[in-house]
Amino acid sequence: MKYIYEEKAGPTGPTLLLLHGTGGTESDLLPLAKIIDPDANILSVRGNVLENGMPRFFRRLAEGVFDEEDLIKRTEELHEFLNEASQRIGFDRKQITAIGYSNGANIAGSLLFHYKDSLQKVILHHPMVPRKGIDLPDLTGTEVFIAAGDNDPMCSPEEAEELERLLTNAGANVDIHWESNGHQLTMSEVKAAAGWYAK
């Protein structure tokens, strides 16, 4: 996987895992990391699936309809990449906070749905429920921040609320923050995420 790694906190400090939206690159969310935690290591990954030339983290069959088989495969791929990269680069695998937007939020959510202890904290900007009707691992101790739009045309408020419910029922501590700017990633929600992270 293509990625950028910036060491700031060293091998024992926190690492921010940045996961872009459709058509983005590993450079897109770097400004967010500086707002959320300027002293953390940064691991920013590029999705390795192309949709009409636009990078994504997994395939979809249509807008809002995920290719479930590919989602499972790519989630495993990212999970294994984090395991391998933490050994090779030298960062604490247990101190990863994922920050994902849209498609990046969905792959981060999928890590939570499939792997216990894959992520310590998660900031999901405009996520959807990655998979329906599966049993989630025990997420006790996992901290999750969801930024959702009450008028988001791609990720409905009901979808965000369902994700909050599923994660809470699995034991995660979930906070949800509402905006009214459609599917846009706004500075106000990034600042809200930074305030949540600082707690």
- Cα–Cα dist 63/46, whole Å: 20
| Cα–Cα–Cα angle for 63, 179, 173, rounded to 5 degrees | 90
Q: How many CB atoms lie within 10 A of CB 30?
A: 15
- Cα–Cα dist 86/82, whole Å: 6
Q: With contact defined as beta carbons under 8 Å apart, do 149 and 126 qualify? A: yes
Q: For this structure, is 135 an active site residue?
A: no
Q: For this structure, is 152 an active site residue?
A: yes
Of 67, 70, 79, 183, the catalytic one is: 183
**Residue-by-residue DSSP string for 61-127:** EETTEE-HHHHHHHHHHHHHHHHHHIIIII--TTSEEEEEETHHHHHHHHHHHH-TTS-SEEEEES-
Of 102, 110, 125, 126, the catalytic one is: 102
- Which H/E stretch holds residue 41? strand 41-45
Token pair for residue 114? 């499939």
Q: For this structure, is 125 an active site residue?
A: no
Of 28, 44, 152, 177, the catalytic one is: 152
- Report, as residue numbers or ranges, the catalytic residues: 102, 152, 183
